[in-house]
Amino acid sequence: MNTPTPNRPNRNPQRRPNMNSHPDNRQQSPDPRQNPNRRRRRRKPKYNYGALFFLIASALIILIIFIVIIRAIAGAVNPPDDKETGNASDTQQSESISEVTEPETEAPPAVIYDYVTRTETDLHSGSLILVNYENDYVEPVGFKTVPLYGNKNSSYKLSSALHEVTPEMLENLNAMLAAFDAATGKHDIIITSAYRTVEEQQAIMDERIENYGEELAKLFVAEPGKSEHHTALAVDMAVYTDAGEGMDISDDEIYSWIEQNCHRYGIVRRYAEDKIEITQIGNEPWHFRYVGKPHAWQMKQLNYCLEEYVEYLKQYSIENRLSVTDDEGAIWEIYYVASEGESTEIPLPQGVIGEISGNNRDGFIVTISIS
Ligand SMILES: [Zn+2]
């Protein structure tokens, strides 16, 4: 009903106070020159309101334009900053990449080798010499043995004061049997045989043939001149208890610790049951041979006997080295260099000290300690 009318008063009162304010202004400003009140009434409200709205609108528009300009300026300034920083980082990356890649492309790895000369005689020396039924032992130049007596520790015993081994075998045998003693409390391992001359080997063979017959004797005793005991890198072990009782090392499970851990000391159990056809030697749980730590480690991993391992190494060269890492993080690199007869130049990466061993057959094995 009256809906239109209440709306109108609502609109008008908004104007009325303004209208009222103008009369107040007129009363406060009794300027005689301002006679045309109608003009003021008409113009001032219209002009003021229009101007007010215009000003507000203008101010808003200016403000908006200002904000837009500011943003535009900010946008025009900041994004390039981002881009510049982005570009800068990109260029830095590309520069760093180019810094890395350039040397590779421009300067291919210039491998510089040092060369060490080895003679044919040197084929017979080193910790990896293979002495067996088809590879005769040849005494190396400068062959050196040391007696166990006076040099061994208290973790094991000797059947003879005359037993001798190489210095490398002495050091590692001591370490291994000390560790065995520490792990098991056993210190009754006895070394029953070590270095043997060809004559001593012949005497043993004669005695065994007499007692056991030729076939059995030859299964466990190498032909004189073909025995690993000539190298002084091998020992035979048995057990001699504090009570004076002798037994085989395989008679008590506790001694299997040695077979399970000997590779950590560069020592291998040389003649196993499953390798008889290769070694031509019967299962000998008592016979241990030093070959060097990385080699013993790798032979253990591969379950290779020395005959197999020496052949396996031939696939590795200085360009394609075998890398061996033990469980303590020690790393070695190993490669093979075929013998060239009287004189062989063995390449070594410059600045590296490599241990070179002959294989007693046809080449040399280089072992480099990386860490
Ligand atoms: Zn032996």
Question: What CATH number has the domain bearing residue 264?
Answer: 3.30.1380.10
Cα–ligand 1 centroid distance for 226 (angstroms): 12
355 is catalytic: no
Cα–ligand 1 centroid distance for 164 (angstroms): 13
Cα–ligand 1 centroid distance for 216 (angstroms): 15
Kindly state whether residues 349 and 370 are assigned to the same domain: yes
Q: Is residue 259 part of a domain?
A: yes
Show the tokens assigned to 224.
Answer: 């004189």
Nearest-5° Cα angle at 346, 340 to 352: 170
Beta bridge partners of 288: 235, 269
Distance (Å, whole) CA 75 – CA 80? 8
Looking at the whole model, is its pTM more than 0.85? no
Kindly state whether residues 239 and 352 are assigned to the same domain: no
Mean pLDDT of 132-145: 95
Distance (Å, whole) CA 39 – CA 52? 18
Distance (Å, whole) CA 230 – CA 199? 10
Residue among 237, 249, 67, 56 at smallest CA distance from 152: 237
How many other C-beta atoms lie within 10 A of the C-beta of residue 332? 23
Kindly state whether residues 221 and 87 are assigned to the same domain: no
Q: For position 303, what pLDDT does the model report?
A: 98
Q: Is residue 49 part of a domain?
A: no
- Report the domain count for the chain: 3
> Please, what is the average pLDDT of the chain?
82
Cα–ligand 1 centroid distance for 193 (angstroms): 7
Q: Do residues 245 and 252 make contact, with C-beta atoms less than 8 angstroms apart?
A: no
pLDDT tens-digit series, residues 196-241: 999 999 999 999 999 999 999 988 899 999 999 999 999 999 999 9
Cα–ligand 1 centroid distance for 169 (angstroms): 14
Q: 257-274: string of b/e by CB count within 10 Å (b at 16+)?
A: ebbeebbbbbbbbbbbee
Catalytic residue among 95, 284, 311, 319: 284
Kindly state whether residues 282 and 164 are assigned to the same domain: yes
Kindly state whether residues 286 and 370 are assigned to the same domain: no
Kindly state whether residues 106 and 232 are assigned to the same domain: no
Kindly state whether residues 169 and 278 are assigned to the same domain: yes
Q: Which of 268, 290, 312 is the last residue of a domain?
A: 290
Q: Is residue 353 part of a domain?
A: yes
Is residue 35 very low, low, confident or very high in pLDDT (cuts 50, 70, 90)? very low
Residues of the domain holding 226:
138-290
Kindly state whether residues 197 and 89 are assigned to the same domain: no
Q: Is residue 312 part of a domain?
A: yes
Q: Is residue 309 part of a domain?
A: yes
Kindly state whether residues 237 and 272 are assigned to the same domain: yes
Cα–ligand 1 centroid distance for 204 (angstroms): 11
Is residue 353 very low, low, confident or very high in pLDDT (cuts 50, 70, 90)? confident
Q: Which of 290, 318, 338 is the last residue of a domain?
A: 290
Tokens 């045998």 label which residue?
Answer: 173
Distance (Å, whole) CA 322 – CA 312? 10
| Nearby residues for ligand 1 (ion, Cβ within 5 Å) | 236, 287
Q: Is residue 5 part of a domain?
A: no
Distance (Å, whole) CA 128 – CA 126? 6
Q: Is residue 266 part of a domain?
A: yes
Tell me the angle at which helices 4-28 and 37-106 cross, rounded to the nearest 10 degrees. Answer: 100
Q: Is residue 204 part of a domain?
A: yes
Q: Which of 242, 270, 290 is the last residue of a domain?
A: 290
HEC-encoded secondary structure of 25-40: HHHHCCCCCCCCHHHH
